[in-house]
Homo-oligomer: A and B are copies of this chain.
Amino acid sequence: MPDANAVQQLAASILERWALLRMLRSKGIAAVQKRIEMEDFVAVDANAPVATETHGERAKCLQRLIRLDLPVPASIALSFATVRSIASGGTMDAGKVLAHFGKAPFVSVRPSSGDPEWGGPEAILNIGMNDARHAEFASLLGPEAADRLYSRFVQTYSVQVAHLDPDAFEAAREADAETLRSMLDAYEAEMDEPFPQDPERQLTDVLKSMARAWEGTSARLLRQARGAPPDAGLGLVVQAMAAGLGPPESGSGAIQFVSGDTGEAQINGRYLGQSQGRDALRSKDAICLARNSRGASLEDLCPEAFAELVSFGATCREGLREEMQIEFALVGGELSVLDAIPVQRQPQAEVRIAVTLANDEVISKDEAVSRIEPGLLTQLMHRQVDPSAQRDVLAIGVAASPGAATGKLVFTSAAAQAAHARGEPAILVRRETSPEDIRGMHAAVGVLTERGGMTSHAAMVARGLGLPGVVGASGIVLNRRDRSLTAEDGRVFKAGDCVTIDGTSGTALAGEVPLLEPSQGEAFRTILDWADEARDIRVRANADTYSEARVALAFEAEGIGLCRTEHMFFEEDRLTLMREMIFAGNGEGRAASLERLVSLQVEDFTQLFDLMECKPVCIRLFDPPLHEFLPKSRDGLRDLADAMNLPLSEVTRHVDALEEFNPMLGLRGVRLGVTIPEIYEAQAEAIFLATIHASRPERPVVPEIMIPLVSASREVELVRSRIEGVAAAVRTRMGVQFDYKLGVMVETPRAALRADEIAPQVAFLSFGTNDLTQMTYGLSRDDAGRFMADYVRLGVFPEDPFHHLDMDGVGELLSLGADRARGSNPDLVLSICGEHGGDQDSIAFCRAAGFDYVSCSPFRVPVARLAAAQIAISERNAT
């Protein structure tokens, strides 16, 4: 039972707030907020009610350091609410705060937001300096130190708080009495009043200025770009100054115990005598911390303090369970810990630090796994643009395939192949790519397209190949005739010009840019091994070719979830056979072409099965419309007519007849399988023959065959009985037994709705979320690029549904389909393939829906393994 008094109090507080709200509405916000009495600040000690959510990360961290008994100067934390009300004009009794710092307060104010990454106003040091303290410090620390302390404050206050011209207030670290005097004069001249002497006035102004800086539009946009929510708050920490100036050894610095680049153990940092704040990190006079052969060190200068810092480091690592950078000050040899933040680190270091902490039993393996943002792994698998490099952006598009590469511009697949043959790296630029460009993409080191989105052909192929790719760079103009592109800013780049594709950020850069090499070291493998221990949903890869399958295996995919066979037909000799097949019409000509295609596919599949050994391989039967295999240009048609030995008019008529208004919704997938059954029969024969070739007595191959684009269960019935017929014929002819599994790719809303009818006929269903998304939204992924950015910006779609699974619409079809399918076939294997397969939210969704595996592009496999593990761990921890 709640206490009666408490209830009454609550009621009273509600009435009070209500009255306030009414007033607020009637009189406007400013009038009311002025009345808010400041009360929410707290002296940070081991037990104070300080939380990251209310006071920010820095305040919380200080409390933790205090709990670890580190020498943290007295600190006061102001909550987000307090700072917000200061920003909107609330009055603040700075005196009450200063009362915590003795009679002559001497303090700093530092920002404390929810996440240090979001930025914030700069710290302001030496508040409390005035003429009287100056005189006092001159006798205590020496006149030089006193001048510096005072002039630093005058400079910061004038520029940051009073917003005076910075030129009038020079760098203060080297200041002497004269500099100080001229600054004080400059202030008075500008402000028509002497420099404020009252510490309370000083603090009030500093707090107000920092609170308002946080609310400024540019600061807000900047932090939102870095992932801050719109209502992110700022806390402030008022801390007693440890001056860092005065008698030896005085100074300041920062220390960390691992490399931010690699994560290896090493003492890193800088120390600068007679300095404050982050001076040591900025000055070329700063020295190293540990003893070394290159010069002076803190360890030489002040071995006790150094030893103490090292022990503080160990304490922090154990206590905060993280590698921290410690900011410290020395005052007359006495050490203060001013702040500590997690060591800034590159992705490679992030993984290594987590693994080392777990190996040292500072954190558990599960926690190490949970700490790595899965997308980070992507950066370890590809070359990346050096974050410190200059970027001369020539095009902005969709970050379609991560990684970076530099090469010479080419505008056709043929040119890319020619460059490849000459050993020159080429960047292929196309309006959009089509299957005819596959060979060009194989030959290129990066790809840039004017059109398309995350799931356009170019994007999908690039990710499959691990090729850096930027698509939908709609600002560029391709000038086909003179083989050049015009950038948004009007610059023209010609074939042969050197450019860099940054597929991680979705930009193309002019010229060569320094790149960082990929690094999947020991730690990368360890974290994924641990992830596999925690994970409880399988991860397969989408791999169409032998080389993609090799990548999938290298990333420890548990099988192939989607092998799109049509890509095998775009190689030169096969394309010719395909075209012959298409032109043959029914009858013997078609059978002959198909027979030759079968023998080629037998090789493809045998290699694939051999490579994958016992791992499952799910082969999707032929899916694209036939016209994708035919040329569209006049030249292409003429070549084809020559090759087929047919009149151009007949070839043109045939090609025209196959053309479709909406190829996505046309004669493809199982519709081809039903209307031209020879194609699927030929493919099934090739799969079965390869099965026999690749099977060993100890490890029989059991291929999975998947029927695409199903919308009615009768389609499955028809194809199934034909495939059964082919299997029986092959068994008889070859005198060998084998098994296979038949399944359906659920890509149409109707297949999901009718999954109960379809499921009893098959062994598995795999949801193809790319097409399912297209049809659920009535939105072509190839055409959506033109307005998707607008749509996301306007919040019409919270995110690109081709990028993040739409849980509400597509997701409902997924769970409804899964439920119905399992209802009529409880043994059914369920999975998702397509671009969403590697996405963390999708994996969580599929796992919750009881799916057996997810399948994603090979380079996403590590990401999916890690993401899946994190979901399992987080669920275990929640229960």
Which residues of A does B touch, CB under 8 Å? 660-667, 671, 674-675, 709, 711-712, 714-715, 718, 747-750, 753-754, 771, 774-780, 782-784, 786-787, 790-791, 794-797, 806, 808-810, 812-813
Interface centre among A748, A749, A787, A797 (most CB of B within 10 A): A749
Chain B: which residue is nearest A664 at the CB level?
B662
A-B contact pairs, 6 of them (CB 8 A): A662-B665, A664-B778, A665-B780, A674-B794, A748-B778, A774-B778
Do residues A809 and B750 form an inter-chain contact, with CB atoms below 8 A? yes
Residues of B within 8 A of A674 (CB): 787, 790-791, 794, 796
Chain B nearest CB, measured from A744 CB (Å)? 13
Report the bound CA distance from A796 to B754 in whole Å: 14
Contacts of A749 in B (CB 8 A): 749, 775-776, 778, 809, 813
Report Cα–Cα, A795/B662, bound state, in Å: 24
With A and B bound together, what is the CA distance between A56 and B666 in angstroms?
45
| Smallest CB gap from A778: residue in B | B748
A715 to chain B, nearest CB (A): 6
**Bound complex: CA of A675 vs CA of B792, how far in Å?**
11
A781 CB, min distance to chain B CBs, angstroms: 9
Give 20 new A-B contacts, CB below 8 A, not counting A660-B780, A711-B776, A748-B776: A660-B782, A661-B782, A661-B783, A662-B662, A662-B664, A666-B780, A671-B791, A674-B796, A675-B787, A711-B778, A712-B797, A714-B794, A714-B796, A718-B794, A749-B776, A750-B776, A750-B778, A750-B806, A753-B809, A774-B778
Report whether B783 and A666 are in contact in the complex, using a CB–CB cutoff of 8 Å.
Answer: yes
Selected from B750, B778, B784, B810, the residue in CB contact (under 8 A) with A777 is B750
Q: Quick check: B711 and A809 within 8 Å, CB to CB?
A: yes
- B residues within 8 A CB of A711? 776-779, 809
Q: How far is the CB of A440 from chain B (nearest CB, A)?
A: 19
Contact A661 B809 (CB under 8 A): no
Alpha-carbon separation in the docked complex, A587 to B471 (Å): 28
Return the contact of A715 from the options B671, B796, B810 (Cβ within 8 A).
B796
Q: Which residues of B contact A774 (CB under 8 A)?
A: 665, 778
Nearest-Cβ distance from residue A663 to partner chain B, whole angstroms: 7
Task: List the B side residues contacting A715 at CB < 8 Å.
Answer: 796
Q: For residue A661, which residue of chain B has the nearest CB?
A: B782
Question: In the complex, A675 Cα to B783 Cα: how many Å?
Answer: 14
Residues of B contacting A791 in the complex (Cβ-Cβ under 8 angstroms): 671, 674-675
Q: Are A665 and B665 interface neighbours, CB within 8 A?
A: yes
Query: By CB atoms of chain B within 10 A, which of A660, A750, A778 has the most?
Result: A778
Q: Which chain B residues border A754 with CB–CB below 8 Å? A: 808-809
Bound Cα distance from A787 to B676, whole angstroms = 10
Q: Which 4 A-B pairs have the closest CB atoms?
A: A665-B780, A666-B783, A750-B809, A662-B780
List the B side residues contacting A661 at CB < 8 Å.
663-664, 780, 782-783
Looking at the complex, which one of B709, B778, B809, B810 makes contact with A665 (CB distance below 8 Å)?
A: B778
Partner pick for A775 among B775, B784, B810, CB 8 A cutoff: B775
Residue of B nearest to A666 (CB): B783
Contact partners of A783 in chain B: CB under 8 A: 660-663, 665-667
A29 to B620, CA, bound (A): 43
Contacts of A809 in B (CB 8 A): 711, 749-750, 753-754
With a cutoff of 8 Å between Cβ atoms, the chain B residues found around residue A786 in the complex are 666-667
B residues within 8 A CB of A784? 666
Residue of B nearest to A456 (CB): B661
**List of B residues within 8 angstroms of A747 by Cβ:** 778
Give bound CA distance, A684 to B284, whole Å.
Answer: 67
CA gap between A715 and B794 in the complex, in Å: 9
Taking a contact as CB atoms under 8 Å apart, the answer to whether B782 and A778 are in contact is: no
**Residues A753 and B813 in contact in the complex (CB < 8 Å), given A776-B775, A783-B661:** yes
A662 to B774, CA, bound (A): 11
Closest to A714 in B: B796
Which residues does chain B contribute within 8 Å of A664, judged by CB atoms? 661-662, 665, 778, 780
CB-based contact A671/B787 at 8 Å:
yes
Which chain B residue lies CB-closest to A773?
A: B750
Q: In the complex, are the beta carbons of A778 and B709 less than 8 A apart?
A: yes
Least Cβ distance of A765 to chain B in Å? 16
* Chain B residues whose CB sits within 8 angstroms of the CB of A778 once the complex forms: 664-665, 709, 711, 747-750, 771, 774-775
The docked-state distance in angstroms from the alpha carbon of A808 to that of B661 is 26
- For residue A709, which residue of chain B has the nearest CB? B778
- CA of A596 to CA of B754, assembled, Å: 49
Are A662 and B753 in contact, with the CB atoms below 8 A? Answer: no
Contact A675 B790 (CB under 8 A): yes
The chain B residue with its CB closest to the CB of A649 is B481
A469 to chain B, nearest CB (A): 18
Residues of B within 8 A of A775 (CB): 749, 775-776, 778
Task: Report the bound CA distance from A791 to B671 in whole Å.
Answer: 9
CA distance A774 to B790 in the complex (A): 26
Please name the residue on chain B nearest to A662 by beta carbon.
B780
User: What B residues does A662 contact at CB under 8 A?
Assistant: 662-665, 780, 782-783
Contacts of A808 in B (CB 8 A): 750, 753-754
Q: A808-B753, A809-B750 are in contact. Are A712 and B796 (CB under 8 A)?
A: yes
CA distance in complex: A295, B445 (Å):
99
Which residues in B have their C-beta under 8 angstroms from that of A771? 778
- Distance in Å from the Cβ of A569 to the closest Cβ of chain B? 20
Q: In the complex, which residues of chain B have a beta carbon less than 8 angstroms from the beta carbon of A712?
A: 796-797
Interchain CA distance A787-B677 in the complex, whole Å: 13
Contacts of A663 in B (CB 8 A): 661-662, 783
- Which chain B residues lie closer than 8 Å to A675 at the CB level? 787, 790-791
Least Cβ distance of A397 to chain B in Å?
Answer: 15
CA distance A777 to B778 in the complex (A): 11
* Nearest neighbor of A771 in chain B, beta-carbon distance: B778
Docked pose: A662 CA to B663 CA in angstroms? 6
In angstroms, how far is the closest chain B Cβ from the Cβ of A816? Answer: 9
Contact of A667 among B776, B787, B810, B813 (CB under 8 A): B787
Q: Would you call B660 and A795 a contact (CB within 8 A)? A: no
In the bound complex, how far is the Cα of B749 from the Cα of A32, in angstroms? Answer: 49
Docked Cα-Cα span, A715 to B795, in Å, equals 9
Task: Tell me the complex Cα distance, A747–B749, Å.
Answer: 13
